[in-house]
Structure 1
Amino acid sequence: MSRAAPRAPRPIRVLIADDHVTVREGLAAIIGRQPDMVVAAEAANGQECVDRWQECHPDVVLLDIRMPVLDGVGAIEAIRRVDASALFIVLTTYDSDHDIYRAIMAGARGYMLKDAQREELLDCIRAVHAGETRIPALLVAKLAAGVSGEALTSRELEVLTLLAQGHSNKDIGVRLIIGETTVKSHLRSIFAKLQVLSRTEAITVASRRGLIHL
């Protein structure tokens, strides 16, 4: 009596979420060609990502960090409120320490840049599915450098955002309903935390870290 052939392992079911259709199609084509993977669903924004996840419960979610309606971090947080064991890999063009920090704190197990080699991405999917964490060493170093200083408060971020938009201290005070002396105090704190000496340098450093978006 012949023995039945061993059953092949179930392929890794991947949900792809990206607001650029060409990126989604490219990723779907790459993943679809792998014998151990299958595209479970696609989404064009963060809310669709949450909806598709609820419908098909994929093994791994591959998503961009900046998407309309709901961003990638918001999607991760919404899904993990339902299932804390859900697995996420962020695939993005953004490597600011703020973006990396937000994604990892939300629960991402992998963080890849879109210029990564195809095999790197596929290996990342397999590794995260197997329970590993995959964050490139360069991004880990960037994250460590970015969070080594004291974090800005929400009020300081508001002041910094208005500063980057070209508002004067007086205008910032009017918009936030605080005194000009208080604005100057916030700016001194911002400069100290960002380790900068000028308004222009503060804006440059904050933009590079992803704290503000110009």
Structure 2
Amino acid sequence: MNLVPTTVPDGVSLLLVDDHLIFLDGLSLALAPLARDLRVDSAASVQAAEQCLASHDYDLVLLDLKLPDESGLSVLQRWQREGRSTPVAILSASESAQDAHAARQAGALGFISKSASGAQLREAVGRLLLGENLPLPASEPATALTPRQQEILLLLAEGLPNKAIGRRLKLSEETVKTHLRSLFQTLQVHTRTACVTVARQRGWL
């Protein structure tokens, strides 16, 4: 069954931003049947992408999350602050629902997995070009924190060291460390900064 939308206008233009050149070539070939007179430009870095955007108006930018000079999420957030109006979707090897939701919050219209088939890719890009937002993947089930873990997380977000958290909650420093290890395991992180960042992304802070 042909999944490509039949109403994508002729002459649309896309900008693909990814630092893997072989992947860019394959992506261009996969998108070629999407519309007549399709223009597909590519950039291997954020700097190159911004040079393209300065010289041409694109209907859609497909942006990788991991780029050599700046992360995709950081780029999205900065472009939003700068008031750039070009629609952007993320095309990434990540299968994480968390990454997809973070991308949407940063301003992306959709999140497309690099594991998608050519037909799935053309369908997704076609829908974006027709003004739709792609549905987000289902979020991972939230793991409930204990009241004590929530208290420690809030104090961690304030930047308090373990000893100060213990004094505030009348706990030994070793008990605080035990709760932190549990939090790190729950959030699949290994630093305090990452713990706070992921907790905020999940809406726990």
TM normalised by structure 1 equals 0.64
Deviation at 1:11, TM superposition (A): 2.1
Deviation at 1:154, TM superposition (A): 10
Contact 1:16 1:43 in 2 (8 A): yes
Aligned length: 173
Q: Aligned residue for 1:163?
A: none
1:188 aligns with one of 164, 179, 187: 179
- Aligned CA distance change for structure 1 residues 129 and 87 (closer, same or farther; 3 Å): same
Deviation at 1:116, TM superposition (A): 0.9
Deviation at 1:90, TM superposition (A): 0.8
Q: Aligned residue for 1:96?
A: 96
1:142 maps to 2:145: no
Contact 1:40 1:58 in 2 (8 A): no
- How far apart are the structure 1 equivalents of 2:49 and 2:17? 6
Contact 1:40 1:56 in 2 (8 A): no
- How far apart are the structure 1 equivalents of 2:94 and 2:27? 18
Q: Aligned residue for 2:76?
A: 76
- How far apart are the structure 1 equivalents of 2:129 and 2:68? 27
- How far apart are the structure 1 equivalents of 2:51 and 2:177? 41
Contact 2:28 2:40 in 1 (8 A): no
- Aligned CA distance change for structure 1 residues 101 and 77 (closer, same or farther; 3 Å): same
Unaligned runs of 5+ in 2: 1-7, 167-172, 199-205
Q: Aligned residue for 1:20?
A: 20
Contact 1:49 1:75 in 2 (8 A): no
Letter in structure 2 aligned against 1:127: R
Letter in structure 2 aligned against 1:112: I
The higher relative CO (CA closer than 8 Å, separation ≥ 6) is in 2
Unaligned runs of 5+ in 1: 1-7, 157-175
1:35 maps to 2:35: yes
Letter in structure 2 aligned against 1:188: H
Deviation at 1:88, TM superposition (A): 1.3
Contact 2:11 2:39 in 1 (8 A): no
Deviations 1:145-179 (A, max 9, x none): 359988x67955xxxxxxxxxxxxxxxxxxx8945
- How far apart are the structure 2 equivalents of 1:148 and 1:58? 43
Deviation at 1:59, TM superposition (A): 0.4
Report sequence identity in percent.
20
Contact 1:31 1:37 in 2 (8 A): no
Match runs of 1:1-214 below 5 Å? 9-36=9-36, 38-135=38-135, 139=137, 141-142=138-139, 145=141, 178=161, 180=163, 182=165, 185=176, 188=179, 191=182, 201-202=185-186, 205-206=188-189, 211=198
Letter in structure 1 aligned against 2:59: D
Q: Secondary structure at the match of 1:142?
A: coil
Q: Aligned residue for 2:5?
A: none
Letter in structure 2 aligned against 1:182: I
Q: Secondary structure at the match of 1:89?
A: strand
Deviations 1:65-117 (A, max 9, x none): 11111111122223333445421111111122332222111111111111112
Q: Aligned residue for 2:202?
A: none
Contact 1:24 1:42 in 2 (8 A): yes
TM normalised by structure 2 equals 0.66
